[in-house]
Amino acid sequence: MELILVVIIGLLYASGIYMMLRRSMVKLIIGLILLGNGANMLIFLLGRIVKGKPPIIDSTAKMLTEIYADPVPQALILTAIVISFGLQSFAIILVKRAYKITQTDDLDELNTTDEIYE
Amino acid sequence: MILAILSGFILAGCTPFISKFIKGKGSLLLPLLPFGLFVYFISYLKEIGEGQTFKFSYEWVPSYGINFGFHLDGLAMLFALLITGVGTLVFTYTTSYLKGHQYLDRFFGYLSMFMASMLGLVLSDNIITLFIFWELTSISSFFLIGFNNDDPKSRKSALLALSITGLGGLFLLAGMVLLGFVGGTYQFQELLSQSNLIQDHASYGWIVGLIFIGAFTKSAQFPFHFWLPGAMKAPTPVSTYLHSATMVKAGIYLLARFTPLLGGTPEWNTTLIIVGAITMVYAAVHSIFRIDMKGILAYSTISALGILVFLIGLGTEASLLAAGVFILVHALYKATLFLITGIVDHETGTRDVTVLSGLSKVLMPVAVAAGLAALSNAGAPPFFGFIGKDLIYEATLAYGNWAVVLTIAAIVTNVCLLFAGLLAGFKPFVGPLPSNYAALHLPHPTMWVPPLILAGLGLVFGLFPSLIEGVLVQPVFSSMVIEGAPVHIKLWHGFNLVLGLSLLTLTLGVVLYMILKPSSLLFSKTLKFEMIAPQTLFGIFGKFFNAFARFWTGLFQNGYLRNYVITILGFLTILLAYRLYQGVNLYIDTAQLTSLTIYEVTVAIMMIVAIIFTVFSRSRLVAVASLGVMGYSICLIFLFYSAPDLAMTQFSIDTLTVILFVLVIYNLPKYKNFSSKAVRLRDAVLSIFFGSLIAILTLEVLAEPLNRETSIFYAESAYLLAKGKNVVNVILVDFRGFDTMVEITVLVIAAIGVFSLLKLRLKSIEKE
């Protein structure tokens, strides 16, 4: 399974970068989301994946023993997911707003700070 | 001592607060500062004459070996006296020359700053401090040259002077650092004892070359000479000061100072002789075609500087003595001529020698001073200039095989200089007085007394050379030649070849003056050669450099975010690829891999398809939906591999994102491709390369052993310390509770942003 995940991570990175390099603002956001997911998967995989052993202490035990999934990457990723949601939602609304004022989605046309009156 | 140097800076700092005072009667008090300093240095004269030197040291940056070390010896003494002495007269002169000027306070501020920098420069023993003062003179001269800042020409000249001398200063710094590195110290007196070591070092050529560039730019040597005529845009007192005693003499001072340390080698001597000779002949010939008094004097200054460099380059005892004397000779007559030019300009409003004549009838004392200076410049006996010229010929005649060539070069230069001197100091005062100048009257004594004093000194020193021989000339000589014979200067040498040459020079000069009449026609002809002048070439170079900088900046700082991303990623990719190419060790331990099940493969395929759809879909809705599918697949992977918390979070967040997208989707622009096929192909190649590299790196890292220390701590302590059984949750809300709180804050800020963006009404621009 690791090998497949490696391929998926590579694909997520590649597609994320590709979308970020587009001129459309919407595509830029999609690229950001893809890249963020790729990074999450990377951290997840590098913490080593374990099947069916969540890092939850058994009700009778006092600590995790045996083999268990690494809790640290999970904590990191959880934070990352939430933060990236904050970023994404703000970016989406910003794009919507910017489009309403400038009537363009092309980043190259956003080269002036002056308001455009039509 | 340090107070003596800093007093100029202190005065400069005070001028804005006492500006009313300066503009009023107070300006007459200002010359007291340089005069006080002059007296202060004079008080050391006796001891210096007896061969003593004085050291003053104040710590500054001891860790780098930089301190305020000052060393007063003969050479420093000569320059200190010139700076403060001529400074006194220039300050006095300015009180009348710029009387009532709007920015008189500013002018005095710059002037005293300049004087102080110059003093610091000649007195510094530490070569790094010397460099700092060196640059300070460049900066303060920039303000002085550009003093008439509403004149574009003035600004341009100031900028030119700053860029040339400042650029040279940087070379000088490099030379100094290299010298300090080789010698192991920045103290000049300590370096002096290691002269042989430095001269044999492999970097010797570099040190000399770098210091030469610094000195040549400052002292206006060919081909860096062109900033000096431009500096004529400055008010006349500034030109006087810059040309006679300071600024341009700094380079000469540097060369003279470093002669005992670096001199005596073929590199040193040959370069200086060639550069000096070219400069002196080139500028001397140039000077005779000028018609502006200041222009004539500027080129004759360059020529005189060439002579000095040339003499230092000859490097014999006779030539160094001649250099020492000529510095003083030149300072005296050149300052006089400049001050006179200022008076003439001030009174008649022109400096054109073709127009001026007969002024002695109205400006008698000025004419006397001018005549004395012109004669001293001409080297006529019994003036000080005669002694100077004799010493020069003695030096060239004694220079072995090349004596004839060098002597001829010296004669040509001197004849032209003589002519230039007569043109500026003699011509305007003789002949018939034009009627429109008949009403002129003598200016305030503060203007005509200073040149008279200077010119008078030229005569006095000539008649009684013993006045300065012991106290000044001998110590200067000893500073440049460590173990030289005692010097003796005298007016009359008897009938010999040197006298013959002097008389020949005089005759030729006077004949030239009789034949060649200055005319604007001749002047305009010489202007045609400007096409190939170094000045023009420098201008072209500057333009090219600007264009190149603009192109280069445009290439990298082009304002397109994605180009920055491409540059960064491209560079990273190349670096990583090179490293991997050198030795990639792709080791996959199949035993360690987790087994595959059918539903995992299904999820993986689903993800890949979703990604492909996201990227290539032409419909916005499809892309967003695919994004959602991909998010849910990740959620499933989290679920399979023991991360239920992540799965839950991912699920809710993904849902929210998609909903948000869909909510605003009808407002969003049409989904379209802006880029051309080639651009898309380029981006695709880069992305694929980068993605593959990340994948390879991931595999590499997977093969490395994992340090689980942190996880083990959390796994063991989660319940015992924090009383929680879900370890991930415990980490987030307990061990790293503050982080989570800050994270929530970030989210709140984002939420406020989203909310306000949605609610914001943008008045009329809005079309909802």
Would you say residue B529 lies in a domain?
Answer: no
Element (H, E) at B56: strand B54-61
CA distance B70 to chain A (A): 56
DSSP string, B636-675: HHHHHTT-HHHHHHHHHHHHHHHHHHHHHHTTSPP----S
A85–B653: do the CB atoms touch at under 8 Å?
A: yes
**Domain check: are B412 and B498 in the same one?**
yes
Residues of B in contact with A59 (CB under 8 A): 725
- Across residues A79-106, what is the average pLDDT? 84
**Domain check: are B252 and B299 in the same one?**
no
Structure tokens that stand for A51 in this block: 């099947």
CA distance A35 to chain B (A): 10
Number of domains chain B is built from: 4
Contact B396, B356 (CB under 8 A): no
Residues of A in contact with B684 (CB under 8 A): 18
ipTM for the predicted complex: 0.90
Predicted local distance difference test score (pLDDT) of residue B501: 80
**Domain check: are B237 and B277 in the same one?**
no
**Domain check: are B118 and B26 in the same one?**
yes
In this complex, the residue of B672, B691, B768 whose CB is nearest that of residue A11 is: B691
Look at residue A59 and give its three-state secondary structure: coil
Would you say residue B528 lies in a domain?
Answer: no
Would you say residue B48 lies in a domain?
Answer: yes
- Which of A23, A28, A43, A74 has the most B C-beta neighbours within 10 Å, making it the best mutation to test the interface with B? A74
* Closest chain B CA to residue A43: B698
In this complex, the residue of A14, A97, A99 whose CB is nearest that of residue B687 is: A14
pLDDT along chain B (768 residues), means of 10: 78 75 72 85 81 78 75 86 88 81 81 88 87 89 84 83 87 90 84 83 87 88 79 80 80 88 84 88 81 82 88 84 85 86 82 77 82 82 80 80 82 84 81 76 80 84 78 78 69 72 81 73 64 68 85 79 85 87 72 77 91 86 89 91 89 90 73 75 90 88 82 85 86 89 92 86 52
B718–A57: do the CB atoms touch at under 8 Å?
A: yes
CA distance A107 to chain B (A): 9
| Distance in angstroms (rounded) separating the CA atoms of residues B535 and B68 | 37
**Domain check: are B675 and B739 in the same one?**
no
Q: What is the pLDDT of residues B409-442, one digit of tens each?
A: 888 888 888 888 888 888 888 777 777 777 777 7
Residues of A in contact with B608 (CB under 8 A): 7-8, 11
Domain ranges, residue B139: 1-263
Residues of B in contact with A51 (CB under 8 A): 594, 640-642
Of the candidates B417, B414, B427, the one whose C-alpha atom is nearest the C-alpha of residue B340 is B427
- Across residues A63-67, what is the average pLDDT? 73
CA distance A60 to chain B (A): 10
**Domain check: are B587 and B464 in the same one?**
no
Domain-terminating residue out of B710, B735, B754? B710
Would you say residue B540 lies in a domain?
Answer: no
In angstroms, the Cα distances linking B314 to B211, B310, B403, B420, B749 are: 18, 6, 11, 25, 76
Q: For the full predicted model, state whether its pTM sits above 0.80.
A: no
B594–A51: do the CB atoms touch at under 8 Å?
A: yes
Sign of the C-alpha dihedral computed for residues B210, B214, B215 and B216 taken in this order: positive
Greatest distance between any 2 Cα atoms in chain B: 118
Would you say residue B243 lies in a domain?
Answer: yes
Domains of chain A: 2-109 (1.10.287)
Question: Omega of the bond prior to B365 within 30 degrees of 0, cis?
Answer: no
Would you say residue B584 lies in a domain?
Answer: yes
A20–B715: do the CB atoms touch at under 8 Å?
A: no
**Domain check: are B286 and B254 in the same one?**
no
Percent share of chain A, pLDDT over 90: 27
**Domain check: are B59 and B90 in the same one?**
yes
Sign of the C-alpha dihedral computed for residues B460, B464, B467 and B470 taken in this order: positive
Would you say residue B534 lies in a domain?
Answer: no
Domain-terminating residue out of B263, B283, B307? B263
Domain-terminating residue out of B263, B285, B301? B263
Predicted local distance difference test score (pLDDT) of residue B347: 81
| Distance in angstroms (rounded) separating the CA atoms of residues B564 and B557 | 8
Residues of A in contact with B673 (CB under 8 A): 22, 24
Residue A29 CB partners (closer than 8 Å, separation 6+): A88, A91, A92, A95
**Domain check: are B225 and B93 in the same one?**
yes
